[in-house]
Amino acid sequence: MTSPTVSDKALEVQGVSKKFRRGELFDSLRDLVPAMTRRLLGRRRSQELERQEFWALRDVSFSLKRGEAFGIIGGNGAGKSTLLKLLTGIMHPTHGSIRVSGRLSALIEVSAGFHPDLTGRENVFLNGAILGMSREEIRRRFDAIVDFSGLAEFIDTPVKRYSSGMFARLGFSVAAHVDPDVLLVDEVLSVGDYLFQRKCIERMHAVIASGATVVFVSHNLREVSALCQRSLLLERGTVQKVGPTEEVVQHYLSRCQQERALAPDREIVITRVTTHDSSGPRTEFESDGKLYVTVEAQARSRHDDMSVVIQIVDQHQYPLFDTCTQRLGAGPLTLDAGETLRCVFELDVTLAQGTFHVNAFLHRYITDRPYDRWTSAATFFVSPTPEVRGVVTLHPRLMACEVEKA
């Protein structure tokens, strides 16, 4: 490890862009020949896009201090995976530079190096070497790795006989013991059962505590905000925002709350779903606070037997709660052409920390058949409280905590 005096930057990304091609590399010989000659003649200017080319990343810059945990968030296709591949060195940027000080290791595709015919033991050595450990290092950590994986009984069985969960666990265990200066993590925490996931998260915290720099890529905003002080929001290959995780997550969620217009082919549509508190729009809430959900709808013709349903789901779309105007005592709602229906729901936030989505539905009053449904219409975020973990808070109070003498 280089001493901190040399540079306190663990990772520096400057003006990185990456260009990709759609379609086949060479569609035919007819394409190949001109492409080759152009390349040989050096006429190809890398700043320009040729037919079928596109920028997967455009001018991305950020730098990380030693010991920092940094989150990268963004929707699908935002360029997160490309950025990770550039950081690991699997691919090289079209422009720009990436500087890593110290050993970089990635908890990505942790089982890629496994060979099905080799035993668990042999694969630990193989994968360890692939991930950059020396044989001596692996030998030293072998027991810890096997212990972490919980596969001691099967360590001399070929991994082709493993279940996919065992496979992934062994892979993660090897990767988690590499001891890097910079660690890249891409959503691998969803490996294995609940207990193993907890072990993984603890391990990540231990890595951060040991002074390593961590780059964490995830859709799971809760985990990102729990682990990372600073984050970066990628959208279509460009950096939308870099800064404290809370602000970046806010920004990301507020961008998700877009509006829908009344399309010409639709008779009735939910046009807007927002979350707010008593003072204005908000996407971050405290446990025990109040949350207001406003649903707006417009119609092209008269509809007169509706109810509005809202549903709160977690990030896996698992429904946690739903309610509707009908059940809350409102009669059938009527909406005429040109009018806007607005329903405001007040909810107590009894949720613990996490990311939650609001689904909104317009149902027929009697039959419950939907006029319109909008899933993940709004997303909000409940900030963590130290005393509660899990999805909901049951408002715990410590009533007694004493030792009775025998």
Partner 1 sequence: MLRALRELVARRDLLYILAWREVKIRYKQSVMGFLWAVLMPLVIVCAGIVVRYAFSQISGTPLSLSDLTSVSVKAAPWAFFVAALRFGTNSLISNTNLVTKVYMPRLAFPISAVCAQLLDFLVASVVIAILLVLAQTGLSLQILWLPLLVACLILMATGFAVIFAAASLFLRDVKYLVDVFLTFAIFFTPVFYESSLFGKWAPLVLLNPVSPLLEAITTTVIQHHAPSLPWLGYSFAFTALLGVGSLALFTKLEPLFAESV
Shorter beta-carbon distance to partner 1: residue 16 or 270: 16
| Binds partner 1 by CB under 8 A, chosen from 135, 140, 198, 302 | 135
Q: Which stretch binds partner 1 (CB under 8 A): 132-140, 228-236, 303-311, 312-320?
A: 132-140
29 part of the interface to partner 1, by CB under 8 A: no
Decide if residue 112 touches partner 1 (CB under 8 A).
Answer: yes
Q: Binding to partner 1 by residue 399, rule CB under 8 A? A: no
Kindly tell me which of 112 and 344 has the beta carbon lying closer to partner 1. 112
Return the number of the residue (133 or 221) whose C-beta is nearest partner 1.
133
CB of 110 to partner 1, least distance (A): 9
Taking the least distance from each CB to partner 1, the nearer of 53 and 286 is 53
Residues 136-165 that bind partner 1 (CB under 8 A): 136, 158
Q: Compute the least distance from the CB of residue 231 to partner 1, in Å.
A: 24
Question: Is residue 115 part of the contact set for partner 1 (CB under 8 A)?
Answer: yes
**Rounded CA gap, 68 and 80, in Å?**
19
Residues numbered 293 to 332 that lie near partner 1 (CB under 8 A) are none
- Name the residue nearer to partner 1 (CB basis): 106 or 168: 106
What does R_g of the chain's alpha carbons equal in angstroms?
26
68-107 footprint of partner 1 as x/- string (CB under 8 A) = -----------------x--xxxxx-----------x-x-
**Residues touching partner 1, count (CB under 8 A):** 29
d(CA 116, CA 125): 14
- Using the contact rule CB under 8 A, the part of the chain among 134-142, 200-208, 284-292, 344-352 near partner 1 is 134-142
Q: Which of 9, 14, 75, 118 binds partner 1 (CB under 8 A)?
A: 118
Residues lying near partner 1 in the complex (CB under 8 A) are found at 20, 25, 85, 88-92, 104, 106, 108-109, 112-113, 115, 117-118, 122, 125-126, 129-136, 158
